[in-house]
Amino acid sequence: MNIPLSPRLANALEEHYKRLSSVHLRTLFQSDPHRFEKFSICWNEFLFDYSKNIITEETISLLLQLTTEVNLSENIEKMFMGQRINFTENRPVLHIALRNRSEQPIYVDGHNVMEDVKKVLEKMKAFSEDIRSQRWRGHSGKPIKHIVNIGIGGSDLGPRMVTRALTPYGNKEIKVHFVSNIDGTDIEEVLKAVELDSTLFIVSSKTFTTKETLTNAQTARKKLVDYFGGETKAVEKHFVAVSTNEKAVKDFGIDPKNMFEFWDWVGGRFSLWSAIGLSIVLYIGMDNFEELLYGAYLADSHFRNTPYEKNIPVIMALLGFWYGNYFGAETYGIFPYDQYLELLPNYLQQLYMESNGKRINKEGKVVNYQTGPILWGNPGTNGQHSFFQLLHQGTHLVPADFIAPIETHNPIGNHHLILLANFFAQTEALMKGKTEQEAMEEMQKENLTPETIARLLPHKTFPGNRPSNSFLIKKITPRTLGSLIAFYEHSIFVQGLLWNINSFDQWGVELGKQLAVKVEKELSQGSLLFEHDCSTKGLIEYYMKEARKNF
């Protein structure tokens, strides 16, 4: 592993890792009863407990030295000041401007982008008030009851996750639907579920060139126009667009006055704070959306101004790096103990894996160390009854974040208490494990025979020493959710610096898209036109033969 560190720090970390890798987390807890106070941060409505990590004060002190080596402070300022840190696309990275609630200007090429941000927010506000107060009517005079966001990736996952997470704040008169997949089933099922005369379609696409989104939007448009007996004028009242590409929006047939703009300095996966969040605004209202922005702004200020030893996203980043690059952990788990946060793992998957799934460093060379982890997860307690077995007794080390609200939106009986009991118990079990001695004593109490005990003993012991972070959040509100998401965004940024990669491009998604264009041509013409390997050729030919037989 050759992470770009000074030889002194690289050696110190390597040596420290060797020493610590043979120490069990149980021992660390036994030898220091103050770990919790030492390794937890209270911030606003958050408690971030990172004491169940394989770390000591020395680990943190060494890891913190990384922030100096990668010039973290300078790089944070570069981002906040609008420098072109996305150097392969020559763009600033300014999602922080979208939620800048201070009066501070942010300049790109001498232009204060805050003026543009405010203008679009005002337009979103006016529009959402029109929709929610039923002033805006569909072509036949009906109020809007269904919002359909058509988008994919960053133009889908953020709004989809946030509207689900903030269901308790949603307008009961409005249903929000999401269509992303090119699979016709996706759009078809949504079209079946809505009444077209009271539906607003939001075509969300940064580039307005994404095949899936445009195809789905065309299908929806055709369905709407047919519904209104071929009257294309109906589109005006039922379609709006969110994009950076005005020309393409116009070409699609959406009047630019019904377009909500954003800018190339907003990365797709960082765009829920922009007009891409329009479906969120229509559902939860502008005041709540502004709270979401405010929560993110608070986290931005925390990230920018807090010493790194008390800085939540910095500590998150350093711990992820510690496990990936020293312990060889290849994946990272996200386990929200809150059903409303069920889409958070999906959302973070794009954020992490599209940002830091890179193997070329800033100097254009292939790295020889591990970069971004494979991120995955599911809400608790469901996960406990499926994949947690592997976490407890499998051969992989999977560091994880456990996230839960203290107060639930649905205080029914003792559900929340049981939910949280499971959260705490799982992190404890992962950390402690169960020794042979403990397993033996348990079985002895059950009066099992010595032979049975001997046979079952290895199966009933748990190695423990599985690290986790715990986030306890007072309540999931627009504000706390905004902060939580921003913490993850910043942690990804810090990790990108540690790995010396560009976290803000995504060239890796292009090759498949290019090949799909060719194959699509072949499938629609019913014949092979390009060179393929024998597997791909075989698949295409088999499909064409079967499709001809069946349709």
Q: Is residue 346 part of the contact set for ligand F6P (CB under 6 A)? A: no
Q: Taking CA 24 as the corner, what is the angle to CA 20 and CA 30, rounded to the nearest 5 degrees?
A: 110
* DSSP letters spanning 415-429: HHHHHHHHHHHHHHH
Q: How remote is the C-alpha of 240 from its chain's centroid?
A: 25
362-421 residues in contact with ligand F6P (CB under 6 A) are none
The residues with which 360 forms a beta bridge, in sequence order, are 366
Q: Could you tell me the smallest distance in angstroms from the CB atom of residue 510 to ligand F6P?
A: 8
Task: Single out the residue of 52, 139, 206, 221 in contact with ligand F6P (rule: CB under 6 A).
Answer: 206
CB nearer to ligand F6P: pick between 208 and 323: 208
| Contact in structure between 374 and 353 (CB atoms under 8 Å) | yes
Contact between 503 and ligand F6P by CB under 6 A: the answer reads no
Pick the closer one to ligand F6P by CB: 258 or 274.
Answer: 274
**Span from 109-117, 203-211, 217-225, 522-530 in contact with ligand F6P (CB under 6 A):** 203-211
In angstroms, what is the minimal distance from the CB of 535 to ligand F6P?
24
CB of 209 to ligand F6P, least distance (A): 7
Nearer to ligand F6P, 87 or 542 (CB): 87
Number of residues near ligand F6P (by CB under 6 A): 14
Nearest-approach distance from CB 162 to ligand F6P, in angstroms: 15
Phi then psi for residue 111, to 5 deg, are -105, 130
Judged by CB under 6 A, does residue 207 bind ligand F6P?
yes
Q: Which of 18, 211, 415, 513 is catalytic?
A: 513
Catalytic residue among 385, 445, 459, 549: 385
Contact positions with ligand F6P (CB under 6 A) in 508-527: 509
φ, ψ of residue 483 to 5 degrees: the values are -65, -45
Residue 426 vs 506, nearer CB to ligand F6P? 506
Strands 146-150 and 111-112: unpaired
Residue 210 interacts with ligand F6P (CB under 6 A): yes or no: yes
- Closest to ligand F6P by CB, 132 or 269: 269
Of 45, 212, 291, 354, catalytic? 354
225 Rama sector, left if φ>0, alpha if ψ -120 to 50, beta otherwise: alpha
Please name every residue paired with 402 in a beta bridge, in sequence order, or none if there are none: 335, 470
d(CA 326, CA 320): 10
Instruction: Determine if 128 is a binding residue for ligand F6P (CB under 6 A).
Output: no
| Minimum gap (Å) between residue 276 Cβ and ligand F6P | 8
Find, among 433, 549, 435, 419, the residue nearest to 476 by Cα: 419
Q: How far is the CB of 120 from ligand F6P (least distance, A)?
A: 16
3-class DSSP state of 71: coil
User: Measured from the CB atom, is 212 or 401 closer to ligand F6P?
Assistant: 212
- Quote the least distance from Cβ 221 to ligand F6P, whole Å: 16
Close Cβ partners of 187 (under 8 Å, ≥ 6 residues apart):
150, 179, 216, 219, 220
* SS3 state of residue 54: coil
Residue 274 binds ligand F6P (CB under 6 A): no
DSSP 270-323: G-TTTGGGHHHHHHH-HHHHHHHHHHHHHHHHHHHHS-GGG-HHHHHHHHHHHH
Instruction: Please tell me whether residue 205 binds ligand F6P under the rule CB under 6 A.
Output: yes
CA distance 87 to 96: 18
The smaller minimum CB distance to ligand F6P, of residues 206 and 358, is found at 206
3-state class (DSSP) for residue 67: helix
Judged by CB under 6 A, does residue 506 bind ligand F6P? yes
Shortest spacing between CB 269 and ligand F6P, in angstroms: 5
- What distances in angstroms separate CA 195 from CA 137, 214, 233, 454, one per listed residue? 13, 21, 18, 65
Binder among 149, 213, 426, 465 for ligand F6P (CB under 6 A): 213
Cβ proximity to ligand F6P: between 149 and 506 the closer is: 506
* Contact criterion met (CB below 8 Å) for 160 and 131: no
Is 513 catalytic? The answer is yes
Q: Where are the alpha helices (DSSP H) in 326-460?
A: 344-356, 388-393, 415-432, 436-445, 450-460
Only segment of 85-93, 207-215, 257-265, 279-287 that touches ligand F6P (CB under 6 A): 207-215
Q: Can you tell me the distance from the alpha carbon of 92 to that of 108, in angstroms, rounded to the nearest whole number?
A: 8
Residues 232-271: x/- map of binding to ligand F6P (CB under 6 A)?
------------------------------------xx--
Closest CB 157 distance from ligand F6P, rounded Å: 8
Residue 86 lies near ligand F6P (rule: CB under 6 A): no
145 to 184: interface string for ligand F6P, x by CB under 6 A: -------xxxx-----------------------------
**Separation of alpha carbons 122 and 128, rounded Å:** 10
Query: What DSSP character marks residue 471?
Result: E
Binding residues vs ligand F6P (CB under 6 A):
152-155, 205-207, 210, 213, 268-269, 354, 506, 509
Catalytic residues: 354, 385, 513
